[in-house]
Structure 1
């Protein structure tokens, strides 16, 4: 059984540091997810790459250079439009989970997608509010208990907040 460990980074710089620490600790791009609102469009990123999502949920893809270089390393990074909520940038296993929520309409939305990933509804609502306010949701998916501890240590060392973990019934698709 896989475990997902989640946190909130207060801004992109903190998210970059966390993801870089995770990468340096041996986590793969397919194990790490990020989610944040796309308030600036793609102009802050160096180039665009197309990302295929179910039923056209993705509106394009992003890969960053400069301040977005570490986040650009993540698997499947792209722009995702959730009806009634707006555009988000997502990467990793969360992209596939939220792609289905985006296609499903506003009823599923961000909270529905997070609950579908195994996050309790109360925490999903908390993360929804924080992400809408401009924070970055980061998660790591692993099936090794020693890695869960390491992820939590990395999150704490980088001043992440709202650190939680949850068991996933099945491993996320990569």
Structure 2
């Protein structure tokens, strides 16, 4: 039996460090998923989108091939263009699920993709909002006997306390994930309390 452990990190770098430590501990790349923001990768995607304007591959899912990702699971990073959010770096089973959401094969966009992956709808709303605000989600599907080790590794890299973050969002007037709401800038302070960016 496998256990799914999912955490959100305020920075891509923290998520990347967690993944590298998971791999060093013997977790296989097929057990790990990541989706989030990486400024260079997103800039590369936008450049490609401008160059190939009108090409379905530039506006849908383009998994595989983000340059400079390094060895292991991170070398398989690709990009998924999520309606309402734009391009996110992604790899693993979750990335494949979200690629289906991006192309319409999975209903409900980002929220639907997270639910299809196995995250409860209530949790998925907060995860989706965190991704929209610049967070990076890492998920591990580990065997029962390795789940505790995986959780300890992921916690060492200071993931977000999602209950606290949801309370912060609600205190700012958030009522649930809305893909049509204005986009938020990349996190700087880690508080998740930025104001919407003008579009």
Q: Counterpart in 1 of 2:156? A: 157
Q: 1:78 deviation in Å?
A: 0.9
Q: 1:122 deviation in Å?
A: 0.8
Name whichever structure is richer in helix by fraction. Answer: 2
Q: Following the alignment from structure 1 to structure 2, what is the Cα–Cα distance between the partners of residues 104 and 43?
A: 24
| Of 81-90 and 32-41, the range deviating more from structure 2 | 32-41
What are the ranges of 5 or more consecutive residues in structure 2 without an aligned counterpart?
46-55, 164-199
Question: CA 1:60–1:115 in 2, change beyond 3 Å: closer, same or farther?
Answer: closer
Q: Following the alignment from structure 2 to structure 1, what is the Cα–Cα distance between the partners of residues 74 and 38?
A: 16
Question: CA 1:18–1:119 in 2, change beyond 3 Å: closer, same or farther?
Answer: same
Q: Please give the TM-score of this superposition, normalised by the length of structure 1.
A: 0.74
Larger Rg: 2
Structure with the bigger RCO (C-alpha within 8 Å, sep 6+) is: 1
- Is 1:32–1:92's contact at 8 Å kept on the other side of the alignment? yes
Give 4+ residue runs of structure 1 displaced > 6 Å after superposition. Answer: none
The one-character-per-residue Cα deviations of 1:34-78 (angstroms, maximum 9, x if unpaired) are 10135542549xxxxxxxxxx95423633343xx436x7436421
Q: Following the alignment from structure 2 to structure 1, what is the Cα–Cα distance between the partners of residues 12 and 114?
A: 20
- Is 2:106–2:113's contact at 8 Å kept on the other side of the alignment? no
1:127 aligns with 2:130: no
1:59 aligns with 2:62: yes
Name whichever structure is richer in strand by fraction. Answer: 1
Q: Counterpart in 2 of 1:86? A: 86
Q: Following the alignment from structure 1 to structure 2, what is the Cα–Cα distance between the partners of residues 96 and 105?
A: 11
RMSD of aligned C-alpha atoms?
Answer: 2.8
How many pairs are equivalent? 150
Q: 1:106 deviation in Å?
A: 9.4
Question: CA 1:62–1:11 in 2, change beyond 3 Å: closer, same or farther?
Answer: farther
Q: Counterpart in 1 of 2:115? A: 115
